[in-house]
Amino acid sequence: VKENYTLGIDFGTSGARAVVINALGVVQAETRKSLIGEDITQVKAWEYTLFGLIAEIPPKIRQKINAIAIDGTSSTVMLCDATGTPVTTPLMYNDTRAVAVQKQLKVIAPPNHTVLSATSSLAKLLWLSQQPTFSDAKYFLHQADWLAFLLHGKLGISDYHNALKLGYDVEHFCYPIWLTQLAIAPLLPQVVVPGTPIAEVTASIATRFGLRRDCYVCAGTTDSIAAFLASGATSLGEAVTSLGSTLVLKLLSQTRVENSLYGIYSHRLGDLWLTGGASNTGGAVLKQFFSNTELEQFSRQIDPQKVSPLDYYPLLQRGDRFPVNDPDLQPRLEPRPDNRVEFLHGLLESIARIEHQGYQLLQQLGATPLTRIYTAGGGAANATWTAIRQRYFKAPLVMSQHTEAAYGTALLALRGINNNRN
Ligand code: ADP
């Protein structure tokens, strides 16, 4: 069993990575490629990157891989024709051109639905449907769907993580009627459980990369869910805080929590719900005032057991959604002490307070109480910050076991293939 390997491939916001694990979850190989500038928006570059990542895995390891899964950035989408050839350049996750169809979308979708955001997959599909090239389109696919197609050759298949912002109903496992009535409905992908084995790699892919003919390509997921899976969190009440440029909270809950006011929504994860919210506070504000070396040095001079009296709301620009919903919220960074160590203490303390407020809000809205918090992102390695944060929580804070989304996607493939065998 140990000789059965799975490969996870992550297409994130700045680069792509591949991780091969064995059946016990031990990493066997890792490869990475950056996707910068124009390349990040070009499907040809995606294809080149995908094949490069696989080709750089040592051949001996490659031939033992029996399942592959891919994650992509959420709501990065494209249209392609009957042969899988893109008919336009893709629309990236943060593309806001679909603002133009938001009014139309409001008439179509139920109030407060996640698809109403201008960057949702459905908003993008609607926008694309009004472009001249649309008549050539046969399939609407997410980044992960199309990359998987390059390996298994099947078109029109997605997973319910990628398809959430397309309007797929993850509670009833179907597209809602308001969606299937639309003229764009024939382009909607068939949606399966993330990790489900879809098909074996094509003969040409197997030959080209020395992969086994019976190597399965499984349904994928999104990059942020993949990062959650990598953390090691699996049980009810377990959460992952990402202390990256922004502050992102995710909590495994029995109940589904949705609140459009605070931008809170839930993904399905097996029988549980992965509920979460994202704040604009976080490391990007720290970066504005401190270099990474300063962050490390100054943090060591802070006594984490001492409560900083400084009460900030650190933001780069005005406005936040979660846990405070106020588009006009002003960054609060006053009073500013002359001592930079004290200033940093106040910032770390304040972000910890906002994190605590965030989890309180999720629980107030019905999420399962916290039992453990894993931490990922640039701030996770800061032991002082962890100790400050721990003052706010009864639940223990632990490091994420793995932080690479590609690792989480390899786990997804492993579970997918194991379920298939049972
Ligand atoms: P992203 O969300 O952009 O992927 P990362 O997870 O790589 O970000 O984290 C980068 C952030 O981590 C930066 O904004 C930086 O300020 C912050 N950071 C880096 N080192 C530390 C540290 N020792 N303590 C706190 N924050 C840190």
**Helix H or strand E encompassing 239:** strand 238-243
Q: How high is the ipTM of this complex?
A: 0.98
Mean pLDDT of 269-288: 96
**Tokens describing residue 308:** 């900083």
- Asked whether the predicted pLDDT for residue 392 surpasses 90, the reply is yes
Judged by average pLDDT, the poorest of 36-50, 77-91, 181-195 is 36-50
Q: What's the pLDDT at 226?
A: 96
Residue 357: CA atoms inside 13 Å, Cβ hemisphere, count? 17
> Separation of 34 CA from ligand 1 center, angstroms?
19
Contacts of 122 (CB under 8 A, 6+ apart): 105, 109, 115, 165, 166, 167, 179
Ligand 1 contacts CB of residue 294 (under 6 A): no
Ligand 1 contacts CB of residue 12 (under 6 A): no
- Asked whether the predicted pLDDT for residue 1 surpasses 80, the reply is no
Give the Cβ contact number of residue 22 at 10 Å: 18
CATH 3.10.20.30 assigned to domain 5-224+405-421? The reply is: no
* Three-class secondary structure of residue 382 per DSSP: coil
Sheet holding 397-399, edge to edge: 265-269, 272-279, 247-253, 238-243, 372-376, 397-399
**Tokens describing residue 32:** 């990475």
pLDDT confidence bin for 37, thresholds 50/70/90: confident
Please list the residue range(s) of the chain that carry CATH number 3.30.420.40: 5-224+405-421, 233-399
Of the candidates 224, 226, 148, 134, the one whose C-alpha atom is nearest the C-alpha of residue 190 is 148
The tens digit of pLDDT for each residue in 108-161 reads: 999 989 999 999 999 999 999 999 999 999 999 999 999 999 999 999 999 999
Ligand 1 contacts CB of residue 375 (under 6 A): no
Topology (CATH) of 233-399: Nucleotidyltransferase; domain 5 (3.30.420)
- Asked whether the predicted pLDDT for residue 2 surpasses 70, the reply is no
d(Cα 244, Cα 13) in Å, to the nearest integer?
A: 13
The tens digit of pLDDT for each residue in 322-334 reads: 999 999 999 999 9
> Separation of 315 CA from ligand 1 center, angstroms?
15
Identify which of 286, 343, 389, 403 to mutate to test ligand 1's pocket (most ligand atoms within 8 A of the CB).
286
Ligand 1 contacts CB of residue 384 (under 6 A): no
**Tokens describing residue 51:** 């094949």
H helices within 101-222, ranges in order?
Answer: 102-108, 121-128, 143-152, 177-180, 203-209
Q: Whose CA is nearest to atom 19 of ligand 1?
A: 378
